[in-house]
Amino acid sequence: MNNKSRMIIPRLALTLAAQVAPYIYAQAADEHAVFAMTNSVEGNQIIAYSRAADGSLIERNHFPTGGRGSGGTTDPLGSQGSLTLSQDHSLLSAVNAGTGDLSVFRVNGANLEVLQVVSSGGSAPVAVAQHGSLVYVINFAGNSNVVGFNLNENGRLVMIPNSIRYLSASNTGPSSLAFSPDGRFLLLTEKVTSNIDVFSVNSDGTLSQPKITPDPIPGIFDVVFSPDGAALIVQTGGASNANVSSVSSYLVQDDGTLFPVTGSVPTLGNATCWIALTPNGQFAFTSNTLSSSISGFAIGGSGTVTALPGTVVASLPTGSNNLDIAVSDDARFVYTMNTGAGTIGIFAVQPNGSLKVIGFASGLSAHSGFEGLAAF
């Protein structure tokens, strides 16, 4: 292939532990946890659950973030990544949309310790992405922007000078962001415009101006990267066509343009917004909010997306309103935040990618604005 069409071959990303080793300590091999965020306007909190060997959850404690959420009923943040674990699971970042700041916790199993509450550099932060010691946050309100931070050796965020970048317009509805596996690019999705913004990451941690690619499918919501460097995009179908949700994939070229790989694979679910991958990138699962179901896909090495047999691999009780979705770091379990039912769904991943329902953990308040889910 010629230079113009040459795709990026991702380098092995440095782990956070390698870059900020002085304050990292290893998790015990058998310690696993799931975290859910209340997003309460009266005081944001993280609910911590410890995970048993069969995937079931035991509620342990509530940890205040030191800020306030946005409040609301169902999907008030309209984003994925409002609660984000570092690559080695030693740190947890949470957005406080009501007070315009971020909270960083040290993680020890299902126990959390607040390290810092820091201004997000804008209004109404809704999502966070991290690569090594580099962290970026989306600020939704006002003139929507992204702002960068360096994570220092003490686990504290320090804002990068001149790192603010504005999106294609005001009120674009930014909903998610993700670093490419090699850290060279940051992708961001805009719900209102259906644009995909591609930022090149400079050597000082700042970003280039975005290269904007309009997505041909309406209702763009989420972006995640597979370990091989394919960007997976979830499209809800738009407000009037939520029953035609789909997943597409792209490869990022050297100049930041996007090369389409798989056009549009239907989820056979309604209002698909959230997506999560197994750590090895073999399977992807989408959360279909209005149909209360989960769809499954196989991800090929070249970024191809293929629906698993039947596409819908798990069903939840009607009205569950499953929003955020997370996969455990050992790829054994999938968890969903069901804000309509006030539960966390627990599913075991089978060898063929299908899901087996394990049960539902309580602890959430139905229709009360919960948003943000993370698991390891």
Average pLDDT, the chain: 91
Whether residue 278 is contained in a domain is answered as yes
pLDDT at 45: 98
What is the domain extent for residue 135?
Answer: 31-375
Q: Is the pLDDT confidence value at 48 over 90?
A: yes
Instruction: Give yes or no for residue 368 having a pLDDT over 60.
Output: yes
pLDDT at 238: 55
pLDDT at 258: 97
Q: Is residue 301 part of a domain?
A: yes
Q: What is the pLDDT of residue 241?
A: 54
Residue 211, phi then psi, degrees to nearest 5: -95, 120
Picking from 238, 296, 302, 232, the residue whose alpha carbon sits closest to that of residue 268 is 296
Tell me how far apart the terminal alpha carbons of the chain are, to the nearest angstrom: 39
Q: List the 45-51 sheet strands across, edge first.
A: 57-64, 45-51, 33-37, 373-375
Look at residue 8 in the predicted model and tell me its pLDDT: 38
Instruction: For Cα atoms 211, 215, 220, give the angle at the middle one, nearest 5 degrees.
Output: 110
Q: Please check whether residue 12 lies inside any domain of the structure.
A: no
Instruction: Identify the pLDDT of residue 75.
Output: 96
Inside any domain, residue 296: yes
Answer whether residue 1 is part of any domain: no
Task: Give me the residues paired with residue 281 across strands.
Answer: none
> Residues 345-359: what's their mean pLDDT?
98
Instruction: Give a yes or no: residue 197 inside a domain.
Output: yes
Q: Is the pLDDT of residue 169 over 90?
A: no
pLDDT of the residue at 138: 98
Q: Which residue has the higher pLDDT, 244 or 271?
A: 271
What mean pLDDT do residues 179-198 have?
Answer: 96
Identify whether the C-beta of residue 188 lies closer than 8 Å to the C-beta of residue 209: no
Question: Would 89 be classed as within a structural domain?
Answer: yes
- Asked, for residue 26, whether it belongs to a domain, the answer is no
Number of domains forming the structure of the chain: 1
At 346 the three-state DSSP class reads: strand
Question: What is the per-residue pLDDT across 236-265, written as a single tens digit (0 to 9) for each?
Answer: 975 555 568 999 999 999 999 999 999 999
Q: What is the CATH number of the domain that holds 99?
A: 2.130.10.10
- Torsions phi, psi for 129 (to 5 deg): -135, 145
pLDDT at res. 11: 35
Size (the chain), residues? 376
pLDDT per residue over 95-105, tens digit each? 999 999 999 99
Question: For position 166, what pLDDT does the model report?
Answer: 93
% the chain with pLDDT above 70? 90
DSSP-based three-state secondary structure for 82 = coil
Token digits of residue 318: 């009607």
**Radius of gyration from C-alpha coordinates of the chain:** 19
CA–CA gap between residue 355 and residue 222 (Å, rounded): 22
pLDDT tens for each residue of 5-37: 333 333 333 333 333 333 333 444 568 999 999
Instruction: Give me the pLDDT at residue 27, please.
Output: 46
Is residue 366's pLDDT more than 90? yes
Enumerate the H helices of the chain as residue ranges.
16-19
Q: pLDDT by residue (tens digit) across 296-343?
A: 999 998 899 999 999 999 999 999 999 999 999 999 999 999 999 999
